Amino acid sequence: MPIQSVNDFVVRFANVNGSGSASANQLFARSIMRMGVPVSPRNIFPSNIQGLPTWYEVRISEAGHMGARGNCDLLVAMNPETWGEDVEGIEPGGYIFYDSSRPVPKSAFRDDLTILGMPLTELCLKRYSDPRQRQLFKNIIYVGALAALLDIEIAEVEKLIGEQFKGKDKLIAPNHEALHIGYDYARANFECPIGVRVKRANAVGDNIFIEGNAAAGLGAVYGGATVCAWYPITPSTSLAEAFTSYCHRLRVDKDTGQKKFAIVQAEDELASIGMVIGAGWNGARSFTATSGPGISLMQEFFGLAYFAEIPAVVFDVQRGGPSTGLPTRTQQSDVLIAAYASHGDTKHIVLFPEDPFECFEMGAQAFDLADRFQTPVFVLLDLDIGSNHRLCKPLKWDDSRQLDRGKVMTAEELEAGKEFGRYLDVDGDGIPYRTYPGTHPKRGAFFTRGTTKDEYARYTELGAPYVRNMERLLKKFDTAKKFAPAPVQRKASRKTDLGVIYYGSTGPSMDEALDLLEKDGVHVDGLRVRAFPFANEVNDFIAEHDRVFVVEQNRDAQLRTLLMVECGIDPAQLTPILHYDGTPITARFIRKAIGEAINTATGGGRKETIG
Amino acid sequence: MSFLPKPKFRHPAIETNDLGFSHRDYEGAISTLCAGCGHDSISAAIIKAVYELSLPPHRIAKLSGIGCSSKTPTYFLGASHGFNSVHGRMPSVLTGANLANRDLIYLGVSGDGDSASIGIGQFAHSMRRGVNMVYIVENNGVYGLTKGQFSATSDKGSKNKRGVVNTDSPIDMVSMAIELGATFVARSFSGDKGQLVPLIKAAIEHKGAAFIDCISPCVAFNNHEGSTKSFDYVRAHNAALNALDFITPRAPITAEYGEGESEIVKLHDGSQIMLRKIDASHNVHDRGAAMAAIHKHKAAGEIVTGLLYIDEEPVDLHAHLGTVDAPLNTLNAPELSPGQAILDRLNAALR
C-alpha cells in the first residue's frame, strides 16, 4: 500500500556535488513553505566541491517538527552511484522518482515502491544545446515535476523564481519554461498528485527561514562586534562570511564609505584568536568563528584570556571529531574542550543555542557576557543548525538596549582618585575593574601577563596571591550563573520521576520525542540546558527526578560528565542517550532509546510512568 | 622574583621634554635581566627615543611574546599599558589591539626565538598586512631563559658555550621583512645607541609596518669566542650603511654634510631623517638594493646595519580595510546595532 500522507513526509534528493542542484532543491523547499507548511531541509554533503554524492533532505511537517526524521517517503534519485543505499532508505510503501533516460533494471527497485520514471536527460537534450544549461535546467525540470506530483501550487514556485532572479530578469522566463516542461510532463504521464502531498495550511505564520550561522553572524553585528578574525574551516566559514556581508550592508558610513568594522582572514586559528584577544584587551568587541580543529589550536590563548581576564567571543560550529573526523557531518563533541579549554585550571562560559533564533540572541548576548566577565565566551552551534536553513521565530531587538561593557574604569574616575587594582575584587562578585589602554596619562596603566600577579597586576610568583586570584576567578565564574541564559523546562503532562536533559540542536527532535513518548504513556520532564556554568535549576531538576536521561550527540556523554563533575551528581542517576554517527539526532531514535532504557532497567515497564 | 619597585626620587632640576615629562616618566620597573644584557640597552634606547619625541607615555601600547626580550616591556614605559602575551604570538595580539584602536602607538618587542622560530608565521603575516607598528626583535641568537640553546637566527658555524657548532642555516629577519612588504626595515646593534635611538624614533613616526632587527648579545650564553652574536664579534664585523639624525618639524637642520654624503628622508608627520651615508651607493628607497646590500655584506662576513629600506608613503592595515577614523573601541550601540526597524526588514526578506 503506497504511503498516504498530507503535509507530513520526507523527500530526499540524491544528487552529485557541483551539479547545481542546491538552488533547485531550495526552491522546492521554499515553495512548500510559501504554502504555509513548515519545512526543515538539511544538506548532507561530502568534503568535496565537485563529483561526490550529496543529499538534500526536506522534512515537510505541518506540526512544525524541525528535527530530522530519518528515512524518506519520496526519493528523488539523481545519482546512480548511491542508488542502492538510497533505495534502502525509503520507507515501506514509498515513492521513487528517477531519470528514466537510461533503462534501470527492475531488480534495482523494491516491490513495495511506487516508481516514477521520467526521461529528464532526454528532455534536456532535446530542448537545450548548451551542456551547462542541460545540467541546470534538468534540476528545475524535476522541481516542476515534483510540484505536479506533490500538488505544490506552481504559481508559488514561479513567484519564487521571480524573486530569486530579480535584477536578472532575462533568466526568469527560461526558468519558468523549464519548470513547466517538468510540470506538464508529470501531469501527462503520472497520476497526480501521488499519495504524499502538500495542502495549503497556515502553520508557518511570521516565522523566518535562516541558517544558524547567518543568524549568529547577524547577532554579532547587533551585539556590537567590531573586530572579526577568522580562518576558513567547515562548517563555520559561512558565519564569518555572513558577518562580513551584513556589515557591508549595515555598518558602512553612507557619507564617507568608511567601515565600522574590521575583518581579517588570518593565517591560521592561532592568529585569529590572538587578534581577537588583542582587540578585546583594547576594548573592542571581537570574535572568531571556527570548528573543532580550530578550538584545539587555540587552547594556549584561551588560558591566557581566562587568566589575564580578557573578553573574547568564540563561535564553535561543531562537526564530527576527533581529528578531521567527520568534517561535513554534525556532532556535539566540543562540550568538554570548550568548558575546560587550555592547560591549568580553567573554566569557560559556554552557550548552547537550539536554533537560528537563539543563534542570533546568544550571538549578541555573548559579547555582553564576555565584557561583563572579562573572559572568553563560547557559543556552541553545530553543523545541523549552523549550515542548514531552519524555520524559527522572527528575530527581535530591543532598541533601548545598550552594550554592557562591564566594569571599565574611566579617565574621569581615575582622575578623581578612584582606587584601581586590575585584579582587585571590589564588589564581592569576583569581577575586577579594567582600563582600556591609553585612558589616563598617569593612572590606570597596568601590565597584562599570563604569569601570576597580585591584585594590582604586579608580577609575583608567590603562592598566596596566586591562590587568592584563582579563588576569585571561581567566584567570578559562579556569578556568571545568574547572567547566562537560564535553562528551559518542559513539564510532562503528569507528575513523573523521569527527567531528560538536552541542549543545542537536539531541542527540536527532543520536543517531538517527548510528544511521542507521552503518546506511548511515558512521561518525562524535560530540561534544555542553555549555558555553562549550570544554573541552580539544573541541580534542582536532577534532584527532583529519580532518573535523568542526558541526550547528546557525542560518544562520551560530555555534558553528562560536566553535570557529574560540576554538580556533584552520582553517575548512576544520569543515563546517557547518545547519538553520534554524524547524522542529526531524530525523535525516532530518542523515543526508542529512552523506551529501551526504561524497559531494560525495570524488566518490562514501570507502573508509575507507563500507563 | 617579585615586583621590584623603583625609587620615585628625582633630581629637582631634571630636564623635561615638551610635555613636561622627564626621562624618568618613561622608565619602567627595575630590570631583572642579567647585568650587562644587550636588551637593557635597547630598553634605554626606547625610553630615550620616546622621551625625545615628547610622546605621552599612556598613548603607547607595548606588546611582547615570551622570552628574555619579551620581559623587557616591564622595564620601560611604566605609564603605558603592556601585554606580555603568548610565545611567538605577539604579532597577532598586536594586530588585534591595533584594529581596536588605531590612535595608539604600538610597540612590539620580541626575540629571535619568539619571532624567528615559534612565531615566524605571525611575524611574516603581520609584515604582509602592513600593521602600523614598531616591531623590534632583540636578536641574540640564543634561547636565554632556557639557558643557551641555539635559535633560528644563529649563524651556521657559530659555536655555543659548550663548543657545539650550529649546522643549520640562519634566518635573516631583515631580508624576510623586506621581501614580505614591511615599509621600514632596519638593523642595529644594542651597543650602538647613536644609531639605534634615531632608528626607533623614525620607526615610530613611520605609519606602517616598521621592523628593526637589533643584534643584542646575550652576556650569559652567547658572548664567548666563536659566537657570531657576541659584543666583540658584532663590533668587529659591523658594516653600517648609514647613520641617522632624526629631526622633528620644529628643530632646524644644523648639521652640514658634503654633496652625496647625506639625504633627507621625509616622514608622514613632517619630521625628517637626515641620513648620513656611510655607503654612498646604498639607496634606501629600493627593496632590491637593500636585498643586494644584505647579501653583499653577508658574503663578506659582515653584519650590515642602519636603515636598509623605507617606503615614505606606507599604506597600513586600517587603510586596506577602510575603517572609520574613530577608534573601533569607541563606537557604541547607536553606531553598531542597526535596530528593530532594520531587523523587521531582514525578517521580511527571510520568509
pLDDT at B191 over 90: yes
Give A327→chain B minimum CA distance, Å: 25
DSSP assigned state of A151: T
pLDDT, mean of residues A242-271: 98
pLDDT confidence band for B5 (50 / 70 / 90): low
What distance separates the 2 farthest-apart alpha carbons in chain B? 76
CB of B8 less than 8 A from some CB of A: no
Is pLDDT above 50 for A607?
no
Q: According to the model, what pLDDT value does residue B43 have?
A: 98
CB B90 within 8 A of CB B63: yes
Examine the pLDDT at A609 and tell me if it is beyond 70: no
- What pLDDT shows up at residue B277? 86
Specify the pLDDT at position B304: 95
CB within 8 Å of chain A, chain B residues 138-157: none
* Tens-digit pLDDT profile for residues A420-474: 999 999 999 999 999 999 999 999 999 999 999 999 999 999 999 999 999 999 9
Nearest C-alpha in B relative to A210: B350
Q: What is the mean pLDDT of residues B193-197?
A: 95
Structural domain that includes position B70: 23-334
| Chain B contact set for A414 (CB, 8 A) | none
Instruction: Please report residues of B whose CB lies closer than 8 A to that of A218.
Output: 346
Nearest by CB to residue A286, choosing from B84, B96, B129, is B96
Residue B256, min C-alpha distance to chain A (Å): 38
Q: Please report where in the chains the cell 516542476 appears, as a residue.
A: A144
Asked if B152 contacts B112 with a C-beta cutoff of 8 angstroms, the reply is yes
Residue B60 parent element (H or E): strand B60-64
Residue A364 has pLDDT above 90, yes or no: yes
CATH class of the domain whose range is A210-392: alpha beta
Is B337–A222 a contact, with Cβ atoms under 8 angstroms apart?
Answer: yes
Sheet of A286-290: strand order equals A262-265, A227-230, A286-290, A312-318, A376-382, A349-351, A531-532
Confidence class for position A397, pLDDT limits 50, 70, 90: very high
Interface-testing mutation among B6, B54, B101, B328, with chain A (most A C-beta atoms within 10 A): B328
Report the alpha-carbon distance of residue A504 to residue A530 in Å, rounded: 7
Taking residues A247-252, report their average pLDDT.
98
State the CATH class of domain A5-197.
alpha beta
Interchain pair B81, A396: CB under 8 A: no
Rounded Cα distance, B106 and B43, in Å:
15
Q: Name every chain B residue with its beta carbon within 8 A of the beta carbon of A402.
A: 332-333
How many Cβ atoms sit within 10 Å of the Cβ of residue A585?
A: 29
**Residue B264, pLDDT score:** 86
- pLDDT tens digits, one per residue of A118-136: 999 999 999 999 999 999 9
Per the CB < 8 A criterion, the answer to whether A243 and A225 are in contact is: yes
B6 pLDDT above the threshold of 80: no
For residue B331, the chain A residues in CB contact (below 8 A) are 224, 226, 260
Query: ipTM of this predicted complex?
Result: 0.96
Closest partner CB to B338 (pick from A222, A438, A442): A222
- CB proximity under 8 Å: B 181-220 to A: none
d(CA A241, CA A232) in angstroms, rounded, equals: 10
Average pLDDT over residues B25-29: 94
The structural domains of chain A, with segments of one domain joined by +, span 5-197, 210-392, 407-466, 488-602
What is the per-residue pLDDT for B278? 87
A301 contacts in chain B (CB < 8 Å): 86, 89
The confidence score (pLDDT) of residue B260 equals 66
pLDDT grade, residue A610 (50/70/90)?
very low
Is A62 a residue whose pLDDT tops 60? yes
Number of structural domains, chain B? 1
The whole-number average pLDDT for the span A70-81 is 96
Q: How many CB atoms lie within 10 A of CB A299?
A: 15
Of A271, A300, A448, the CB nearest to B84: A448
| Contact between A437 and B80 using a beta-carbon 8 Å cutoff | yes
Q: Coil, strand or helix: which one is A341?
A: coil
pLDDT exceeds 60 at position A355 = yes
Contact of A224 with A392, CB cutoff 8 Å:
no
CB contact under 8 A, A207 and B351: yes
Instruction: Give the residue-averaged pLDDT of B219-228.
Output: 93
Which residues does chain A have within 8 Å of residue B145's beta carbon, measured at their own beta carbons?
Answer: none
Is pLDDT at B257 greater than 70 in this prediction?
Answer: no
DSSP-assigned beta bridge partners for residue A264 = A229
Are A514 and A490 a contacting pair, CB within 8 Å?
yes
- DSSP label at B58? G
A481 alpha carbon, distance to own chain's centre: 23
Mean pLDDT (chain A, rounded): 96
DSSP state of B1: -
- Residue type (1 letter), A49: I
C-alpha cell at position B148 = 643557551
**How near does any CA of chain A get to the CA of B51, in Å?**
14
Inter-chain residue contact A258 with B325, CB threshold 8 Å: yes
Tell the burial category of B270 from Cβ atoms under 10 Å away from its Cβ (0-12, 13-18, 19+): exposed
Q: Are B83 and A281 in contact (CB under 8 A)?
A: yes
pLDDT at residue B10 in the model: 78
Distance CA(A472)–CA(A470), nearest Å, equals 5
Q: Which residues in chain B have Cβ-Cβ distances shorter than 8 Å to A449?
A: 83-84
Mean pLDDT of A347-368: 98
Q: Are A260 and A225 in contact (CB under 8 A)?
A: no
Instruction: Specify the pLDDT at position B253.
Output: 56
- Candidate from A593-602, B175-184, B255-264, B292-301 with smallest mean pLDDT: B255-264
- CB of B58 within 8 Å of any CB in chain A? yes
pLDDT tens for A84-120 read 999 999 999 999 999 999 999 999 999 999 999 999 9
Long-range contacts of A515-521 (CB under 8 A, 24+ apart): A515/A587, A516/A587, A516/A591, A517/A591, A517/A594, A517/A595, A518/A492, A518/A493, A520/A591, A520/A595, A520/A610, A521/A609, A521/A610, A521/A611
Q: B252 vs B15, which has greater pLDDT?
A: B15
Q: Best of B30, B94, B351 to disrupt the A interface by mutation (most A CBs within 10 Å)?
A: B351
Proportion of chain A above pLDDT 70, given as a percent? 98
CATH number of the domain residue B85 falls in: 3.40.50.970
The 3-state DSSP class for residue A515 equals helix
Q: SS3 for A215-281, per residue?
A: HHHHHHHHCCCCEEEECCCCCCHHHHHHHHHHHHHHCECCCCCCECCEEEECCCHHHHHHHHHHHHH
Q: Which of B135, B85, B84 is nearest to B112 (CA)?
A: B135
How many A×B Cβ pairs under 8 Å? 241
Confidence of residue A214 (pLDDT cuts 50, 70, 90): very high
**Residue A513: pLDDT band by 50, 70, 90 thresholds?**
very high
Q: What is the pLDDT of residues B112-150, one digit of tens each?
A: 999 999 999 999 999 999 999 999 999 999 998 898 899
Distance (Å) of CA A415 to CA A418, B28, B81, B256: 7, 21, 17, 47
Q: What is the pLDDT of residue A47?
A: 83
Domains A5-197 and A210-392 share a fold: no
Q: How many CB atoms are closer than 10 A to CB B229?
A: 25
Alpha helices in A341-402 (DSSP H): 356-373, 383-386
As a CATH number, domain A488-602 is 3.40.50.920
- B63 forms bridges with which residues in the sheet? B83, B108
Mean pLDDT, residues B76-86: 96
| Lookup: cell for B312 | 615614505
Q: Is the pLDDT of residue A603 over 60?
A: no
